[in-house]
Structure 1
Amino acid sequence: MSHIWPYLPARAVNITSLIEFDRLASEALAATSARGLGWRVHRVDLRERDCVLRSLDLSEAIFIDCEFSPQGRALVQATGGLCMGSGQELPFTTGERGLYSPEELYSGIQVESYDQVPDAKIYAYSQQHTSPAVRTSDDAMARTLHDHHIGQALVSEVYEGAFKDSPLIGVMGGHAMGRGTPEYERTVELGQLITRAGYAVATGGGPGAMEAANAGAWLADYDPKDVQGALKMLAAEPDAIHQRTGWARTALAVKERFPSSRQSLGVPTWFYGHEPPNLFATRIAKFFTNSIREAILLEQSNGGLIVLPGAAGTVQEIFQDACENYYATGARVVPMVLLGREYWTKTMPAWPLLKALAAQRVMEDRIALVDTAAEAMEFIDSMSTLRRRTRW
């Protein structure tokens, strides 16, 4: 377990000296992928390391309060790495508040780069202030209070606010799905179908499949020609990791051209802060602690769960929710649909295990394997929905 859990990934690599950086860079360059996977580089002078920075894939690395040559910062950012200053003041509130809006998290994005908006500044602060050299109990308490109030605000929205009359359907899928792909377009269609059927979309709030589902909710009232226009605009800036600023500005341009009153939920985390939150979720519950975020997203998906092809994180979500359904009784079992027969039976054969787990349990009749968004919604519509819990 990481000594700074739960605010940094357990496999994060904290680098606080040039000696450490050189050793790990040498190991990475000797490997096939040459990636700085999970690196968190704190206050290291890298002005003489342009050659190394140029050779590494740093798309999942963050450099906080580091020194660079005139070209060094651009070399890091070219592969999607983040270069940030930690700041001295707390960049988030610890008192009672509502959920975030995309406008709040991305304030200033029209004139500033992504690393200057509140979302990025909070991420940088969270990473710097969990390193052993600077973390304090006050910092930990501030993050805990923040997550507590965000959790309360989310439950209020579900039971009394924007989603009180619209059961949430969780759409699970990875961040790698690119704008401009057929998979992205099909996921937009899924978000539209969910919203038009009287449900609300809930996602992990990030890019890829999550953005596509939230975008589908936003575009639910538009005809196919307009949706194609929106997709074409989005495809011009497809990369949320390497081109965060352009990626975000394009989403804003789509929202301005195609205004909407439809509501959807995103539940992202600064635990994976190198993945920016998408701008199509109208209510954003962003947490520092990923375990809270994962649990509350599944817990509040009271209308059902639709799972798109994904990797380890998506498989985890399938069986985390299946565990709840396994022990639940009666109507408290929430329907789950795996979308993609070929994928879930051969590429990532989670379906046979899920089916075996469900055998002779109440959940047995509430799981399905389908190939289309329409089939997924038809199955969920055949179920009765019930909130899993009373309000906190």
Structure 2
Amino acid sequence: MREIDSIAAFRRQHGKLKGAVVQGLDLRLQDLDWSEVDCEGAVFLGCGFPDGVDLESLRKKGALIFPTIPGLPYHPHRHALYSREELMEGWTHEEDLSRDKRIYDHFHEQGRTQADVLELMAQRIHDHAIDDALGDLLEGRVENDGKKKVVGIMGGHSTPRTDPYFRKVALIARALTQRGYYIASGGGPGIMEAANLGAWMGNSSVEALDEALEILCEAPVYTDEHYVQRAQQVLEMHPHGCSSLAVPTWFYGHEPTNLFSLRIAKYFSNSIREDGLLAISHYGIIYAPGSAGTTQEIFMDATQNHYVTFDYVSPMVFLGKQRYQQDTMLFDCISQLAEGKKYADYLLCTDDENEVVEAISSYQLAGK
């Protein structure tokens, strides 16, 4: 079934919708003689129809119509990933009334795990729609640049902008973006912001990146009063950055939207989000210092590599010898686990950002 997920694509059909899936479109302003529409086998997912359209007649002609669910601050059948502008809509310096915050408040008012069946169904539909939109992006159908070579970057959400590893990660993400890789992060603050910042600055000089870091460091942590404003200031100075991906979740406490990611795949289900972020990072994952969440991601990634879950193995690069070889010995643990397995050849622990970039760049996608 062909997917129709934009108004432009819908108009090109000229009413010939047989066997098509029309996903999350507002069709109320479309000038179309609906009585003549060929919709046998068509599926309409959460679409808005003009007043007066006889939906029953469309059903009799073979259409399957999934209605919109009222009272939600999000669109379950959305057809694209989020943008920072969409999530930040309604935010002001004085008060956070953003769409992001409204969805978060709704999610937690409903109860993250005890919501009613309609709400839970809407959340699952929403996350499936995000999966579908993410697939379109990574396969090259959104930015028309071919299949993405995704590199994930993980690390602590509480890492301040003043931390040396924040700059290291930004430099790594910038260099990999310049080499044609597509950076993906967990979409929050700390190391995740550093990753998306570095990617955004992919067309800029190191001096320009350092200038941006000076501005950001005026509000080092996400609880600082002017945290968001400093990011906005950098974007005003560099409005045309490179694309990257953020994969955040509403499951955890509300944190400011990561403003340096052009594409945002935000989920309700944290388990789907975490597993998916690891799964799409075919060209490796870089682990900067982090705490329990990063440790969990390390073992989830090792499991996927160990059992070749997705028919390939990929690099696991640990940035921070103190953290991963001395404080926790996580690198030694993963190295022992990998003995005799293919991914043993793709493990590295270093403090040198250039070694990280070269390790990722020298990797060839390795399957079973």
Mapping for residues 192-231 of structure 1, pairs under 5 Å: 192-231=174-213
Partner residue of 1:89 out of 66, 71, 74: 71
Question: Is it true that 1:311 corresponds to 2:291 in the alignment?
Answer: yes
Question: Is it true that 1:136 corresponds to 2:116 in the alignment?
Answer: yes
In structure 2, the CA distance between the partners of 1:198 and 1:284, relative to structure 1 (3 Å rule), is same
CA contact (8 A) 1:218 1:262 kept: yes
- Residue by residue over 1:288-317, the C-alpha shift from the partner in whole angstroms, topping out at 9 and shown as x without a partner, is 110000011001011111111111111111
CA distance in 1, matches of 2:216, 2:126: 32
SS of the residue 1:270 aligns to: coil
CA distance in 2, matches of 1:97, 1:230: 33
Task: Find the counterpart in structure 2 of residue 236 from structure 1.
Answer: 218
Mapping for residues 166-181 of structure 1, pairs under 5 Å: 166-181=148-163
In structure 2, the CA distance between the partners of 1:234 and 1:387, relative to structure 1 (3 Å rule), is farther
Partner residue of 1:187 out of 146, 155, 169: 169
CA distance in 1, matches of 2:194, 2:365: 24
The amino acid across from 1:95 in the alignment is H
Deviation at 1:326, TM superposition (A): 0.7
CA contact (8 A) 2:158 2:221 kept: no
Deviation at 1:272, TM superposition (A): 1.2
The amino acid across from 1:109 in the alignment is W
The amino acid across from 1:128 in the alignment is E
CA distance in 1, matches of 2:331, 2:164: 23
CA distance in 2, matches of 1:387, 1:217: 27
CA distance in 2, matches of 1:295, 1:309: 20
Which protein shows a greater Rg?
2
The amino acid across from 1:282 in the alignment is L
Partner residue of 1:271 out of 236, 241, 251: 251
CA contact (8 A) 1:174 1:310 kept: yes
CA distance in 1, matches of 2:299, 2:139: 26
In structure 2, the CA distance between the partners of 1:103 and 1:360, relative to structure 1 (3 Å rule), is same
- Residue by residue over 1:200-237, the C-alpha shift from the partner in whole angstroms, topping out at 9 and shown as x without a partner, is 11000000000011000111221232222211111122
In structure 2, the CA distance between the partners of 1:324 and 1:259, relative to structure 1 (3 Å rule), is same
SS of the residue 1:280 aligns to: coil
Partner residue of 2:104 out of 113, 123, 145: 123
Report the more deviating stretch, 299-308 or 161-170: 161-170
Task: Find the counterpart in structure 1 of residue 350 from structure 2.
Answer: 370
SS of the residue 1:286 aligns to: coil
Mapping for residues 239-254 of structure 1, pairs under 5 Å: 239-243=221-225, 246-254=226-234
Deviation at 1:142, TM superposition (A): 1.1
CA distance in 2, matches of 1:290, 1:197: 31
Segments ≥4 residues shifted beyond 4 Å: none
- Residue by residue over 1:104-135, the C-alpha shift from the partner in whole angstroms, topping out at 9 and shown as x without a partner, is 10013245522x10001100000001279x93
Partner residue of 2:336 out of 335, 356, 361: 356
CA contact (8 A) 1:193 1:373 kept: no
Mapping for residues 249-328 of structure 1, pairs under 5 Å: 249-328=229-308
The amino acid across from 1:286 in the alignment is K
Deviation at 1:198, TM superposition (A): 1.0
CA distance in 2, matches of 1:259, 1:207: 20
Deviation at 1:191, TM superposition (A): 1.2
SS of the residue 2:156 aligns to: coil
SS of the residue 1:176 aligns to: coil
TM-score by length of 2: 0.76
CA contact (8 A) 1:331 1:384 kept: no
Deviation at 1:329, TM superposition (A): 8.5
The amino acid across from 1:231 in the alignment is L
- Residue by residue over 1:240-287, the C-alpha shift from the partner in whole angstroms, topping out at 9 and shown as x without a partner, is 1353xx322221221111122411000000011322331101100000
Task: Find the counterpart in structure 2 of residue 40 from structure 1.
Answer: none
SS of the residue 1:219 aligns to: helix
Extract unaligned runs of 5+ from structure 1: 1-87
CA contact (8 A) 2:279 2:310 kept: no
The amino acid across from 1:239 in the alignment is V
- Residue by residue over 1:145-177, the C-alpha shift from the partner in whole angstroms, topping out at 9 and shown as x without a partner, is 111101111111111334744301000101111
Report the more deviating stretch, 203-212 or 327-336: 327-336
CA contact (8 A) 2:246 2:261 kept: yes
Q: How many residues align?
A: 297
CA distance in 1, matches of 2:247, 2:367: 18
Deviation at 1:138, TM superposition (A): 1.1
Deviation at 1:331, TM superposition (A): 7.5
Task: Find the counterpart in structure 1 of residue 46 from structure 2.
Answer: none
CA distance in 1, matches of 2:310, 2:98: 46
Task: Find the counterpart in structure 1 of residue 6 from structure 2.
Answer: none
In structure 2, the CA distance between the partners of 1:112 and 1:97, relative to structure 1 (3 Å rule), is farther
CA distance in 1, matches of 2:352, 2:290: 16
CA contact (8 A) 1:241 1:274 kept: no
Deviation at 1:386, TM superposition (A): 6.0
